[in-house]
Chain A
Amino acid sequence: MANKVNKAGSISRRRLLTTVSAGAALAVSPFRINLLQAEEAPIKIGFPVPLTGPYGAEAQDQVRAGQLAVAQFNDAGGLNGRKAELVVRDDKLNPGEAATRTLELVEKEKVNFVVGSLSAAVQLAINNVTKERGVIFNSISQSDAINEAADFSKYTFHEALNPHMTSGAVGRYAFAKFGKKVAFLTADYAYGHEMVRGFLEVGKEFNVENLGDIRHPLGTTDFSTLLPRLQALKPDILCISNFGRDQQIALKQATDFGIKKSIQIIAPLLSHASRVAAGPQAFEGVVGGCSFYWGIEDKFASTKAFNDAFRKMYDGKLPTDYGALGYGGVRTVLEAVKAAGSVETDKVVAALEALKYDYYKGPQYYRKCDHQSVQSVLVIKSKSKDLRNESDVFEVLSTEEPNEKYLRTCEALGHKS
């Protein structure tokens, strides 16, 4: 046994020596740059996101900001002159489609990394493919399951918030302020289920009473038959855990039904792109969470720099929450590539684990056991008056600072401590 280990060790040492000497020879050669440019393909980052379908608005922002991270990396000289490239695919918000596209990205496009997804369910399908093929996947969409030992692999990173953190932050704010009787309207898939679980968990600290949870399928366009029942429950708080177009329509119709008159609506996540697509009336007064809002630029230099670069690239447009995740997801991987000086998976994994970064929203790092990005959660409220520009949509009510105590423990997730 010991023999074997030694043998393996000596081989890798020999290999290392060859590589180093070859590299050194190349480094002194006058043809170095030419050779690199001629022979080295770009660093490819596969980017499967649901461009069409109910989450399309958010997905397009993910792509825009992802492109910005790539452009910045390339403008700064890339990896010793080697440029990066984003390979975008439409996963249509469908796990099967996403798995096929990801497999294609890995096998045919030979991408070095995969960043992307926008669905608690679809990202698990992508993760299944990447983990099997040993490709790094940085997910930029909410999920609790992806942190858990069953789905996790050392190649899995999670730049987005997870439902536990998000609902925790929003719940701590809302239950203290608006009341203890809560009813839920929930998208019937992983995202909604994980959010409700998170709310009920934090609700225990506040003795919250759960009046009922009505679930609707993803892609519902009419909530008129669900709203009277919710209204009849007479809650203090109606918690609507859905996303994208579902969120837009649910809030619009809840407003039409006059629910806001007597009930405070909260949402685990308020999406910037959805607020813009639905208009100010529908979202007015709704309290929710988010991972990023451009307005925190007064607080963080990194946010200001990110906003300015985004504005410059996209005619004065400001980045959204999910856009920022696209940026963060791609940039962390590329910075890790730079730190590792290589695109080799194991080295980049180590570099990502070692990263202490502040690229767009204040300090963050990937927790060692589950590669969850430990970061702040913003609690925001949607405004409808005194809007300074078309991106002036939210007001930041409070910030939950990055702290591992707001995450589920590594042991609870099934990781060995």
Chain B
Amino acid sequence: MAGLSFDLIALQLFAGLALGAIYVLFAIGLSLIFGMLTVVNFAHGAFYMVGAYVGLYLISIGGNFWICLVAVPIAIGLFGLAVERVLIRPLYGRGIDYPLLLTFGLSYVMVECVRIAFGKTGYPFDTPEILQGAVDIGVGYFPLYRLFVIGATAVVLLALWLFLEKTSFGLIIRAGARDPQIVRVLGVDVSKVWLIVFGIGTAIAGFAGLLAAPLQGVIPEMGGTILAEAFVVTVVGGMGSIGGAVLAGLLVGVVVSMTSLFAPEMAKVSIFALMAVVLIVRPQGFFGRAGLMS
């Protein structure tokens, strides 16, 4: 194929970072829930999908995309709270595979319910008008909406960081993740902390689903593919590490993008090749704490 120009490589790198931002946004909720609760949430993709459907529904009854940006995370967060309270809580202290199997089953139930309510066929989801089209970013044209997604991801990350690092509730969450026993002895209701963490994690999943909808439309199975990629990001970044998820998400995006340039057939495999290499060199991932799974 024709030669590679500097602009193309730069644009490709940028496309990789933009793709990485989507991985980060999706994986961050997964990583948060795992890091704090040691729950491997297999229903994360289903929450993501429901987020897109809630957005679709709100727009169909007269809402707009900007309202959805606020309403969808709240709705999915509340849904997540209910799931934690009713289904996950009874399983704490029973070993990591109990909530894993539960959420795995739950994801099937959620996908099937959406199929019943909205049908098996996908729906279009238009990009909001002022975010349509492509803009010149110096090295080539790039869709405006994807730039918006990068910005939205940055805002979510910043808010999450401020919340965890700068508020007293964030302090309790971090303490609870490190030693729930002591936190409980100090008179803090740990179960309430876990409830809220699960709610935040699912809210971010719903938010990510809404942001993904204008990129690829809405379909009940949309959470399935991205879940595999998000697990790779979480594993590479280190299970439970938010900083690790950010670094790994961006790295995976760039690796996919660069592989696409030179050997497009290998793009999908490259993600797993990267994971294999990282696991061999550093089994706990970039910033993971060893022994979290045991």
Contacts and interface: CB of A to CB of B under 8 A. Distances in A.
A232 B2 CA distance: 9
A193 interface: no
B123 A224 contact: no
Contact of A279 (B2, B124, B225): B124
Nearest to A186: B264
Interface string A211-249: 110111101111011111101110000000000010011
A278 to B, nearest CB: 5
A228 B225 contact: no
A256 B134 contact: yes
Interface string B214-231: 011101011001100000
Interface residues of A, number: 40
Nearest to B143: A256
A212 B1 contact: yes
Contact of A225 (B134, B145, B260): B260
A224 B146 contact: yes
B217 A228 contact: no
B221 A228 contact: no
A198 interface: no
Contacts of A60: 120-121
Contacts of B233: none
A282 B264 contact: no
Interface stretch (B9-17, B166-174, B185-193, B280-288): B9-17
A253 interface: yes
Contacts of A279: 124, 126, 217
Contact of A256 (B19, B127, B257, B260): B127
Nearest to B111: A52
B265 A188 contact: yes
Contacts of B12: 225, 228-229
Contacts of B222: 221
Given A277-B123, A277-B124, A225 B217 contact: no
Chain B contact residues, majority secondary structure: helix
B133 interface: yes
B267 interface: yes
A32 B21 CA distance: 72
A229 B261 contact: yes
A23 interface: no
B8 A228 contact: yes
A212 B3 CA distance: 12
A238 to B, nearest CB: 14
B101 to A, nearest CB: 22
Nearest to B226: A221
Contacts of A257: 134, 141-143
A211 B1 CA distance: 7
Contacts of B95: none
A281 interface: yes
A225 B120 contact: no
Interface residues of B, number: 44
Interface in A193-215: 211-212, 214-215
B140 interface: yes
A245 B261 CA distance: 23
A57 interface: yes
A252 B2 CA distance: 25
Residue of A228, A229, A256 with highest tally of chain B CB at under 10 A: A228
B226 A51 contact: no
B225 A225 contact: no
A258 B134 contact: yes
A56 B15 contact: no
Contacts of A228: 8, 11-12, 15, 140
B260 A232 contact: no
A224 B267 CA distance: 12
A245 B122 contact: yes
A53 interface: yes
B18 interface: yes
Interface in B268-292: 268
Given A229-B12, A258-B133, A252 B217 contact: yes
Contacts of B267: 216-217, 225
Contacts of A114: none
A79 interface: no
B16 A225 contact: yes
Nearest to A217: B268
Residue of B132, B140, B215 with highest tally of chain A CB at under 10 A: B215
B294 interface: no
Nearest to A214: B264
A224 B18 contact: yes
Contact of B2 (A57, A211, A216): A211
B5 interface: yes
Residue of A221, A225, A277 with highest tally of chain B CB at under 10 A: A225
B216 A252 contact: yes
Contacts of B75: none
A278 B215 CA distance: 11
A188 B142 CA distance: 26
Given A211-B1, A278-B124, A226 B260 contact: yes
A256 B121 contact: no
A273 interface: yes
A249 B219 CA distance: 11
B32 interface: no
A221 B225 contact: yes
Contacts of B15: 224-225, 227-228
Contacts of A56: 120-121, 219
A281 B126 contact: yes
Interface string B192-229: 00000000000000000000000111010110011000
Given A212-B1, A225-B15, A277 B264 contact: no
B256 interface: yes
Q: What are the nearest 7 A-B pairs in CB distance?
A: A279-B124, A258-B134, A225-B260, A256-B143, A225-B257, A212-B1, A57-B121
13 contacts: A212-B2, A215-B265, A217-B267, A224-B18, A224-B19, A225-B16, A232-B11, A233-B1, A245-B217, A253-B215, A256-B134, A273-B121, A278-B122
Given A211-B2, A225-B12, A228-B140, 6 more contacts: A224-B146, A233-B2, A248-B216, A253-B216, A277-B121, A278-B124
